[in-house]
Structure formats: C-alpha cells, structure tokens
Amino acid sequence: MTSNTYHFEGKVVIVTGGGTGIGRAVTRAFLDNGATVVAVGRRQAPLDETVAGYERGHTHITDVSSHEQVAELVNSVVEEFGHLDVVVSNAGVFEGGEVEHVSDEVWHKLFSVNLDGLFYLTKEALPHLIKSHGNIVVDTSVSGLRGDWGQTAYNSTKHAMNGFVRCVALDYGAKGVRVNAFAPGFIETDINKEVWTDPERVKPYLDRVALGRTGRAEDCAGIALFLASDDAAYLTGLVVPVDGGTTAATGQGRNS
C-alpha cells in the first residue's frame, strides 16, 4: 500500500504486465485509490491474483507484441467502460548477453515486446486519451539512462523507450496528453529473488545505491500514481529514476 491518497475515482486505467512484480503493485495502487483498472498480461492466473478482492479490478489477456491484440484490448476497454484515462505500459522482457552472443531471435523478441508493444499501445490509446485529457506512464529502466555490462539488447530497448516517451510528450502536449516514465533501478521481484535474498550476490548492487537498500515494487507504484495524478499536471516528458540514487553517481568507482 502506498501512503499518499490520490483521487482516481471514475478513471479507467490499463496496466500491462499487471500479473507480476511492479505491474501488480501499480495495479493495486490504482485500485486502492479509486480507479477502475484493467490488468493485462498473457496468463490469466497471475492477473486474477492481482485483482482478487477488488470489485473495480478487471483482467484482459493480451500479447503486447501483437498490434492486433493491443487494438482489440483498447477497443474493448473503451467499449465496456466508455473512456480511457491512464495507460501504464509496464510489460517487458529481459535477456542478457554480450552482443556477439545475442541471437537475432532474442534481439527481435526484446524489441518486439519492449518497444513495439509500447508503440502499439500508445498509438491505439492516444485517440481516447486526447478525448479524456489522459496520460501515459511508462515503466522503463535505469538501463535506458546509462550503459550496462552484458545487457546490450535490453539496454538498447530501454534507451529507445525513453526517447519514445520524450518525443510523444512533445507531440501530444498541446493536445492535453501527458507522457512520463519512471526508470526503476534494482527492484526486488520474484524474478531476481535469488540475488536480493543473497547478501553476497546483492552486495555489488547495493554498493552503487546511495540509499543502501534495494527497491520495492511499491516504490515504483508510488511514482506511477503521482505521475498519473493531477498533482503532476505540469509534468510531461520526464524519465524519473526510481533507483535509490544509483544514477546520481558518475559511475566512477567509490574510494571512500
């Protein structure tokens, strides 16, 4: 549960990747703050778990790398609820590897989910967001702000996503649509559990975090709510790191 209260009563929100980690926390945060939320993913069971107990929580099976499926998602949400106010683009995939070891298949998979998915969702949602003066919040990554070792494909998708956010923000600001991103650093989720539960393995990450702890999905949910809220009415084109201060550093090693 995030500590601030926002007023999303009557608002309709789509959250992609809503069945796990950050997407689940974001979905529940919007539900806790009055919104009607459609949690989107490829598997039904985790989505059902996310919205269990919430009357305003709905689910929709969509592969965001399919333009056809994303169009069907947006159309069916608008048909059912009458309008669309906020889109949280959070679905994504990760694979590591130095560039010589990245297969064409992995390269294209990462771009088709992370970047094409964002493009399809934005393109389909924009006509409705223009009508509602709504906004888009994108879960990118600190990997879209600086380089990473062994993550060329993923890092490239995230840089492209941050560029996309800034460009769409420029083009649609005059039409009343805001577009912002939050860029998580190391966030504790099921996928990286074996790292953050192991003091030895998590140490190199913590050495780079000013706040001295790994992040939690709720840390991201708080910023997603804020960016989508009227309190952020004059903010667009931002990429906000949620990284405990990791990107505050130059990247030079620590010597004290």
**Least distance from ligand ADP to the Cβ atom of residue 205, Å:** 15
Active site residue 120: no
Q: Which amino acid is at 53?
A: G
Residue nearest to ligand ADP (CB): 21
Distance CA 70, CA 13 (A): 14
Catalytic residue among 54, 154, 172, 205: 154
Distance CA 145, CA 249 (A): 12
Cβ distance to ligand ADP smaller for residue 94 or 107: 94
**Least distance from ligand ADP to the Cβ atom of residue 160, Å:** 16
**Least distance from ligand ADP to the Cβ atom of residue 239, Å:** 16
Cβ distance to ligand ADP smaller for residue 135 or 189: 189
Residues at the contact surface with ligand ADP, assessed by CB under 6 A: 16-17, 19-23, 41-42, 62-65, 90-94, 113, 187, 189, 191
3-class SS at 139? strand
Smallest CA-to-CA distance from 18 within 59, 76, 54, 65 is with 59
Cβ distance to ligand ADP smaller for residue 27 or 132: 27
List the alpha helices (DSSP H) in the chain: 21-32, 44-51, 67-81, 104-110, 117-132, 152-172, 193-196, 199-206, 217-228
**Least distance from ligand ADP to the Cβ atom of residue 10, Å:** 26
Distance CA 71, CA 73 (A): 5
Contact criterion met (CB below 8 Å) for 212 and 201: no
Cβ distance to ligand ADP smaller for residue 62 or 151: 62
- By annotation, the residues acting in catalysis are 154
